């Protein structure tokens, strides 16, 4: 935790110096741009991951049908796939499913697909679990030149292995199959095919029940997510007259508007924005299931929906924005729309990589008005930073930055 605190401190020092370069003196004691609280620890340290992705590639012994995690680099040409048994952050159930999948593909006469152009079929495995004891397995398969009859045979063999064969020990709640000809496919590009069990698994956070689809985004540490969402709720200072904007900026995965839904009880209204239509379906289902009626959801890219939504904003009630982008940060048009909406005086930026593209967002939010960049609104200022240890046993940290104006 101390190591992570020091890394976050350096990031805030970097932001302070970058702001100084554009003429803004934000430096606080220690050269920081705002006060930094100690890292909030994760309530669970070992086996906390609710989602794990396992690759298929050559193992240290040369077997191309090894299911695990990559070690090495492409540049050094020394990549091998090692079993995940030694990983402290992966729960035993995930390791068990990975071991069974490895047993299945080693029995199969079909080759693994290591490089697309070299052929092969068996590809990665995603395992998702919940505190309710649910387990979802999603197997990716490159169809190559196989016809529908041959594909149906493979799906039947897979289902039989996990329901009647050695894989039965995994007690899967859901078994999905996806035919994929690229590294990552969305449901729209290549539908997830349910081979066995329930279409969804369910997780509980802060007393709310969330329905999770195969490609839904959910914080990888459910216990840590509860602590994070509680803090976001407190920092938002949102009351019964507040409208909360939950701006989801996922790329391919469905973001379930979990932050917004978890705070719905304390605000007047939640407005969620999400690019994936299926995620909007899940968000609406989650809201209805939990008896939440003060939510509205908009489908589309945030950079297209948000400027349109805020350009005609006339509601006099306080407006608070929460953004939780991927490592790519916020699209410039999203930042510009937030910056130019005078009603937003409080912004919570949840970042998994604040030293990356998010740094550009911070500078755009805080720099002096710039007509060339169409940043006309009054600048924000970083007010408080709180790191959360969402990823124990790794160097990564989630940083919540509060911006006010």
Tell me the binding residues: 219, 274, 324
CA–CA distance, 389 with 395 (Å, rounded to integer):
9
* Candidate list 352, 366, 367, 397, residue with the active-site label: 352
CB contact at 8 A, 193 and 177: yes
Neighbours of 36 (CB within 10 A): 21
Q: Give catalytic status of residue 352 as yes or no.
A: yes
Three-state secondary structure along 14-27?
HHHHHHHHCCCCCC
CA count, 13 A, side-chain hemisphere, 328: 8
Number of neighbouring beta carbons within 10 Å of residue 233: 20
Binding residues for S-adenosyl-L-methionine: 219, 274, 324
Q: What is the CA radius of gyration of the chain?
A: 23
Helices assigned H by DSSP within 193-339? 222-236, 258-263, 277-289, 302-311, 332-339
CA–CA distance, 251 with 236 (Å, rounded to integer)? 25
Rounded distance, CA 282 to CA 247, Å? 16
Q: Would you name the residues annotated as active-site residues?
A: 352
């Amino acid at each position: 935790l101390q190591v992570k605190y020091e890394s976050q401190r350096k990031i805030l020092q970097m932001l302070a110096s970058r702001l100084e370069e554009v003429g803004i003196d934000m430096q606080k004691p220690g050269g920081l741009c705002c006060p930094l609280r100690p890292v909030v620890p994760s309530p669970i340290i070992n086996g906390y991951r609710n989602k794990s992705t396992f690759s298929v590639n050559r193992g240290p012994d040369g077997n191309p049908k090894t299911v695990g995690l990559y070690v090495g680099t492409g540049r050094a040409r020394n990549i091998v796939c090692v079993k995940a048994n030694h990983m402290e952050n992966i729960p035993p159930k995930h390791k068990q499913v990975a071991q069974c999948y490895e047993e299945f593909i080693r029995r199969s006469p079909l080759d693994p697909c290591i490089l697309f152009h070299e052929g092969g079929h068996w590809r990665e495995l995603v395992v998702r679990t919940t505190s309710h004891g649910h387990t979802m397995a999603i197997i990716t398969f490159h169809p190559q030149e196989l016809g529908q009859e041959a594909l149906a045979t493979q799906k039947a063999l897979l289902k039989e292995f996990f329901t009647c064969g050695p894989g039965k020990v995994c007690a899967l709640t859901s078994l999905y199959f996806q035919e994929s000809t690229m590294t990552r496919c969305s449901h729209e590009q290549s539908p997830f095919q349910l081979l066995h069990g329930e279409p969804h698994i369910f997780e509980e956070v802060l007393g709310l029940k969330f329905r999770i689809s195969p490609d839904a985004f959910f914080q990888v540490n459910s216990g840590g997510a509860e602590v994070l969402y509680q803090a976001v709720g407190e920092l938002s200072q949102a009351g019964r007259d507040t409208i909360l904007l939950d701006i989801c900026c996922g790329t391919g995965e469905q973001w379930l508007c979990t932050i917004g839904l978890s705070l719905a009880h304390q605000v007047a209204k939640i407005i969620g924005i999400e690019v994936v239509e299926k995620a909007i379906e899940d968000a609406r289902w989650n809201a209805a299931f939990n008896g939440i009626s003060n939510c509205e959801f908009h489908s589309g890219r945030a950079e297209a929906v948000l400027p349109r939504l805020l350009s005609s904003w006339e509601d006099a009630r306080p407006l608070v924005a929460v953004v939780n982008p991927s490592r790519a940060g916020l699209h410039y048009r999203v930042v510009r729309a937030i910056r130019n909406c005078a009603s937003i005086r409080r912004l919570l930026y949840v970042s998994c990589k604040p030293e990356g593209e998010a740094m550009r967002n911070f500078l755009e939010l805080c720099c002096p008005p710039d007509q060339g960049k169409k940043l006309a609104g009054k600048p924000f200022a970083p007010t408080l930073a709180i790191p959360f240890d969402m990823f124990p046993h790794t160097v990564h940290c989630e940083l919540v930055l509060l911006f006010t104006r």
